[in-house]
Amino acid sequence: MDLLNGGDAPATDLIKDGTEATFMADVVETSQETPVIVDFWAPWCGPCKTLGPMLEEAVTAAKGAVKMVKINVDEAQTIAAQMRIQSIPTVYAFFKGQPVDGFQGALPGSEIKAFVDRVIEAAGGESPGGQLEDAVQAAEEMLAEGAAADAAQTFAAILGEDPNHAAAYGGLVRAHIATGDLEQAEAILNGAPAEISTSAELEAAHAQLELAKQAADAGPVAELMAAVEADPDNHQARFDLAQALHANGDVEEAVAQLLELFRRDREWNEGAAKTQLFTIFDALKANDPIVLNGRRKLSSMIFA
């Protein structure tokens, strides 16, 4: 599934070796219509050998929204002098014949992608990153509407284009949780690339998985509520009640019960109430009112 709408322009048209003789045509004239990224390099430059291929990969992924010209400064000293190239690698982006962005030195892959996206968007185009974000939003809407299988397919397609897309990876885990396939959700989570394994999106997915596992073993709310009412200091019953309430979708009341448990005995079961609260908070959006109110009340008790 190709989520990017640009035409599949041949790589030979997108990426060229430029010279002083072709600079006007390849860069200045071409950039009147399409932004052009110019990579100033030399054969003896070690970082250039790393940066160049990553730039080419990002430009190729943009499928015609941006082009690239490689200039060997040893063979194009006049252009290098005009552009005041002090060190290499140096990269400039041209649009409408003028430099609009640039950087010096090697960058990690994520920053190179962000640079290419920025250049495309500055020229009024839609970047691969922007298109993927639109696809993520569409998949999130599917998930919210209950179409978890369709959401999973879309998240998987996004990861086919960008395997390190944390939002899509977390979304894929959550989609499998929504279908009840907790084993697959856990397998996907455990296989996350190291680069995104500690991202907020995957932390949230991990928290949701833990809560989903608990929900499978949750007891009946009415019985647990009666046990707590009969003995308010029955901490295990209150903890189980909070899990059952959460499993039934009453997140706010689950948080209230855990806060009450923490108030009564913050050290019970090695601080289980606080740990469970943080799991619930991590599973929700940071600006969710339940999170904001819950954290405020917990902090007031901790520092009282």
Mind telling me the catalytic residues? 45, 48
Specify the residue for token string 């989609």: 175
Q: DSSP letter at 287? A: T
Residue 194: exposed, middle, or buried by beta-carbon count in 10 A (0-12, 13-18, 19+)?
A: exposed
Instruction: At 29, list the tokens.
Output: 């004239």
Total Cβ atoms within 10 A of residue 196: 19
Instruction: At 297, list the tokens.
Output: 């009340």
Peptide bond into 89 cis (omega under 30): yes
Dist. CA 103–CA 73, nearest whole Å: 16
Dist. CA 77–CA 53, nearest whole Å: 23
Q: DSSP letter at 288? A: -
> End-to-end CA distance of the chain, in Å?
55
